[in-house]
Structure 1
C-alpha cells in the first residue's frame, strides 16, 4: 500500500521508465555492462530525491540485463557478460530466420525473471535483516571481513590479485578524517580530500572510464546489423514448453543473487546447463533451442532483483551493479543494512514499487527500443565513446562543480585501465572502499569497549561464527588454487 502511494505522489514511475530505457540502450552496446550503465547515471542522481534516484538506478539494472540479449541474438556478441549464454541458441535461431521469436522469448522470460526476483526481494530482505539487528561492533567488523573474503575468493582468477584489489580499496577508504580521533589522514594538505574520496567518483572511473580507455586501444570490429527484426512472442504451446526452463532460471537466479560474488553471468550458465539436463529436447540445445534462451534470460533478470537482498539486509553488495546501487544510497546519506527498514522504510517500499513498474514497463519499452538499439549498434565506436566521455564529465562536474573531482575520475580510470590489463578484479576494490569505514570504525569501537582486548572478536558468538566462515572461504580458495597449480605442473611434465 505504501509503495503504491509513493508511486503516485512522486516521479517514481517516470524514473522507472527512463531507467529501463537507458538500461536497454546500455545493455545493447557490447562492452557496456549493467554496472557501467548504472555508473553513468550516478552523477545525475544528486539532484533527485532519494527514492526516485534509487529507482532510476535499479531500473537501469533491470533494463540492461534484457538489453544485453539484443546484440547476442542479432550479431553473436553479448551486450553484457550475463548474455553470453544467450548467444549459444539465440544466434542460431537468428540464422534460422527466427530472430524476432528469439528476441520475444528473451523479453518475455526477462519479465518473468524480474517479477519473480522482486517477489523474493520483498519476501526475504526484511526477515534476513532482523538477524542482523542483534549485531554489535565486533559482529559488524566480522561481517565486513566476511563480505570482503567472499568477494575476494569468488571473483575468479588469482586470489593474490583479488586480495591486492581489496586492500587497495581499504587504503583509499582511509583518506580523509579519522572516524575516532578526527585527525586528517593522507590528505597531503589538500582541502578537497578532508571529507574523503567519494565512492561514486571511483566507481565511475573504474567501471566507465577504464572501459572506454580499453576500447580506445582496440580496433573497431563491430558487425553492422542489417536487420528488420520485430519482436514476436511465443504462442501458448511454446510458452508451456518454456515454463520448466523459466522455473529453473528463477530458482538458480534467486540462489545466485543472494550469494555474494556470483551474479548474473554464473546464474545464466548454470541455468542453461540445468535446463539442458532436464529438457525433453536436449538435442536442440546449441542448435537454436528456445529453452536455451529462456533459462539464462530468466536467471539473469531474477538476479537483478535478488542481488539487492544482501545489500539491504546486511549492507554488503554482492556484485558490481549492486555496488553502484550502494553508491546511490551513499549519495543521499542512506545507510544500508538492517536499520534501513526502520529509518528509511519509505525509500525501501518506494524501491519495491519502482522495480515492479520497471518489470512491467520492460515489456512495453523493450518493444519500442528495438529500432533505436539496432541503430545504436551500427554507430562507429569512436562516436559513441566520445558521447559517453562527454556524458561522464558533464555529470561528474555537475556534482560539486569541481575540477578536482574530474581529476579523481580520470585517475581512477587510468588505475582501472591497468587493473583490466593485469586482470585484477574491480569488485574487491569497490567493496573495500565502501566497507572500509564499517570495518575500521567497528574494529576500533570494539577495542574501546573491551579496553584493547582483541579476544572480544572471539567471545562474541556472531563475530566468531562470521570470522570462521571467512577463514573457510579463504582456506577453500587457497586449497583450490594449490590443486590447480599442482594439476597444471603434472600436465606440463607429462
Structure 2
C-alpha cells in the first residue's frame, strides 16, 4: 500500500514539534483573520510571505496552508453572530446562520459550521492524498506545449469564475501578464520595461506586489469604512446539535463536500465559489425550502462543508502540476519560490517529506481548528470590539518591515506602497485583483514554455494541436469561453455574483 507508506512519512514529518507548532500558529492566525472582517487569507498570506523566509520550507508551507483553511472556519463565526462575514466564502453562511443566532440557536449554528468544516476538510484531504500520485504521474507526461495549454486553460478559468465583468477580468489578466514581462529576458539578456531603473531589472517584486494589492489596499478600504460593527451580547449555549439537526445537516454536508472537492480543483475555483454553489443546491433540494433565509440548518452545513473542501482540494493542481488554481495558491507559489522550490510533480520525488508532510498536516490542522473554534468562541467575539484605528496601523508597520526584510531594499517598500494605491483604485473601479496576480505568476511560465515548445518544434505552431493532451486542454478552454458566452449562462452568472 504505497499511499499508506506515503501518509506515514507525512505524519512522521507533520508530527514533529516544530511543524505542529507552526500548524497551530497557522490555524490560530487563520481563525483570527477569518473572525476579523476586512482581512482575508489572501492579504494575510501576502503579509506573512517575508516572515517565512527565515523558516524551514515544510514549516512555512504548513503555516500558510493553516492560515488558508483556518480562515474558512473563522469566517463563519462573525457571519453567524453579527451578520458580518469575516471571509468572502462565509457570505452565504451569514444568510441562515445569523437568523439561527437571532432565534437563540447561535451555539447550534456555530457547532454545525465547525462539524461540517471538520468532516469536509478530512474527506477533501483524503481526496488530495489519493489523487496526488496519479496526477503527478500524469504531469510527467507534460511537455512545454502541454504546460502552455494548461496555463491558457487556467487563465481562462480564472476569467470565467471571477466575480464581476468578464471584460474587466480579461483586462486584469492581461495587465498581470504585462507585469510579468518586466525584468531581464532570460534568452536575450535584454532589459524589458525596466525604464532604466536598476531595481526593476530583476522584475517586479512578487512580495511587494501581492502585499500592496491585497494588504495595503485592504487596509485603506477598511479605514475608509467607518460604520460601527454590531456586537453580539447574548450568552451562547447548546453547542451540540440535536438528533433532528444531525439528520438534516448530514446530507447537506455530504453534498457540500462533494461540490467543494470538485470545484476546488478547477482553475479559478476554491472556497468562495464552492460555498455559493452548495447553497444554491441545498435550496433546490431541501424538503424545507421555505426555511431558507429564515434559519435553515442546511444553509449553514452545506456552504461550510463546501468552502473547507474547496480550500483544501485547490492544493491538488498546485502540488501535482505546479499550476495555481486561485489567488491564494498563487501566493503559495511565491512562498515556494522564496525557498527555491519549483512547484510541480518533481516535488513529490525530490522532497517527499515536504509533499506528504503538508498533506498530513491538514488532518492535524482540522482537528486543531475544532478545538480553537468551539471552546474559544467568547475570545473571538471579544476581538470584534478592537477598533480598526488601533489594529491597522500596527499591521501596516508589520507589512512594511516584512517587505523590506526580504531583500533589505527600501525600493521594495515603495513598490508595495505604489501597488497599495493601485489596489485601492482597482477596488473603487470594481476591478478584482486576483486575476492580475494569477496572470503575473503564470505569465513568465507561459512565456518560457511557449518559447521551449517553439524551439523544439522549430517554429511550428501546430505542436499545440497535434499533441493529444495539449489539444484537449485547448478544447476545454475554448468550451469554457463558448459556454460563458451563451446568453442564459451569462445572465445566470451575473445574478449569482450580484447575490455575492
TM-score grouping bracket, smaller chain normalisation? over 0.9
Give the corresponding residue for 2:468.
Answer: 461
Work out the CA distance in 2 between the residues paired with 1:225 and 1:262: 33
Structure 1 match to 2:94: 87
Contact 1:38–1:57, Cα closer than 8 Å, also in 2 = yes
Q: Are 1:279 and 2:300 counterparts? A: no
Seen in structure 2, the aligned counterparts of structure 1 residues 8 and 399 have a Cα distance that, compared at 3 Å, is same
Q: Which moved more, 1:115-124 or 1:287-296?
A: 287-296
Return the match for 2:407 from 382, 400, 406.
400
Q: Take 1:377 and 1:342, find their aligned partners in 2: how far apart are those partners?
A: 45
Choose which of 368, 379, 389 in structure 2 pairs with 1:372: 379
Q: Quick check: 1:296 aligned with 2:303? A: yes
1:327 aligns to what? 334
Match of 1:49 in 2: 56
- Correspondence for 2:418: 411
Cα distance, 1:277–1:158 mapped onto 2, change above 3 Å: closer
Alignment RMSD, CA only? Answer: 2.2
Shift of 1:476: 3.2
The aligned residue for residue 433 of structure 2 is 426
Q: Is 1:2 matched with 2:28?
A: no
SS in 2 for 1:30: coil
Alignment of 1:84-233 (within 5 A): 84-229=91-236, 232-233=239-240
Mapped to 2, the partners of 1:116 and 1:237 lie a distance apart of: 23
CA contact (8 A) 1:103 1:231 kept: no
Matched, 1:264 2:281: no
- For residue 69 of structure 1, report the CA deviation from its aligned partner: 0.8
Deviation at 1:230, TM superposition (A): 5.5
Aligned length: 487
Q: In the TM superposition, what whole-angstrom CA distance separates every residue of 1:167-220 from its partner, at most 9, and x where no partner exists?
A: 111111112221222332222333322322232221111111111112232223
- Structure 1 Cα separation of the partners of residues 200 and 234 of structure 2: 51
Q: Distance in 2 between matches of 1:191 and 1:97?
A: 62
CA distance in 2, matches of 1:276, 1:171: 42
Per the alignment, residue 445 of structure 1 pairs with 452
The Cα shift of 1:380 comes to: 1.7
Q: What TM-score does the superposition give when structure 1 sets the normalisation length?
A: 0.93
Tell me, yes or no, if the aligned pair for 2:261 and 2:309 is still in contact at 8 Å.
yes
Secondary structure at the aligned position of 1:244 is classed as helix
- TM-score when scaled to structure 2? 0.92
Residue of 17, 26, 36 corresponding to 1:19: 26
- Distance 1:227-1:16 versus aligned 2 partners, 3 A rule: farther
Distance 1:423 1:247 in 2: 35
Deviation at 1:481, TM superposition (A): 9.2
Q: In structure 2, what is the Cα distance between the partners aligned to 1:242 and 1:328?
A: 37
The match for 2:351 among 344, 347, 360 is 344
Residue 305 of structure 1 aligns to a residue in which SS? helix
Contact 1:225 1:378 (C-alpha < 8 Å) held by counterparts: no
d(CA) in 2 for partners of 1:277, 1:464: 37
The worse-fitting range, judged by mean Cα deviation, of 211-220 and 344-353 is 211-220
- Kindly report structure 1 stretches of 4+ aligned residues shifted beyond 6 Å: none
1:61 to 57, 61, 68: 68
| Contact 1:393–1:406 under 8 Å retained in 2 | yes
Query: 1:472 corresponds to which residue?
Result: 479
Q: By how many angstroms is 1:272 displaced?
A: 2.2
Tell me the secondary structure at the aligned position of residue 11 of structure 1.
helix
Aligned partners of 1:104 and 1:231 also within 8 Å: no
1:72 aligns with 2:89: no
Q: Taking structure 1 as reference, are residues 245 and 179 closer, same or farther at Cα in structure 2, changes over 3 Å only?
A: same
User: Structure 1 residues 326, 369: CA separation in 2 closer, same or farther (over 3 Å shift)?
Assistant: farther
60-69 vs 320-329, which deviates more?
320-329
1:242 counterpart = 2:242:
no
Shift of 1:3: 1.0
Q: Which residue of 1 aligns with 2:4?
A: none
User: In 2, Cα distance between the equivalents of 1:427 and 1:451?
Assistant: 35
- Report the Cα offset of residue 155 of structure 1: 1.1
> What residue in structure 1 maps to residue 5 of structure 2?
none
Shift of 1:16: 0.7
In structure 2, which of residues 302, 318, 325 is the aligned counterpart of residue 318 of structure 1? 325
Give CA deviations for 1:319-373 in whole Å, capped at 9, x if unaligned.
2222222221122121112222222322111101211111110111113542332
Cα 1:98/1:484, change in 2 over 3 Å: closer
Task: Report if aligned partners of 1:225, 1:377 keep a CA contact under 8 Å in 2.
Answer: no
Q: Which runs of 5+ in 2 are unaligned?
A: 1-7, 496-500
- Measure, in 1, the Cα distance between the counterparts of 2:235 and 2:54: 39
2:95 and 2:15 map into 1 onto residues whose CA distance is 42
Q: In 1, Cα distance between the equivalents of 2:78 and 2:123? A: 25
Give the drift of 1:237: 5.0
Gaps of 5+ in 1: 489-494
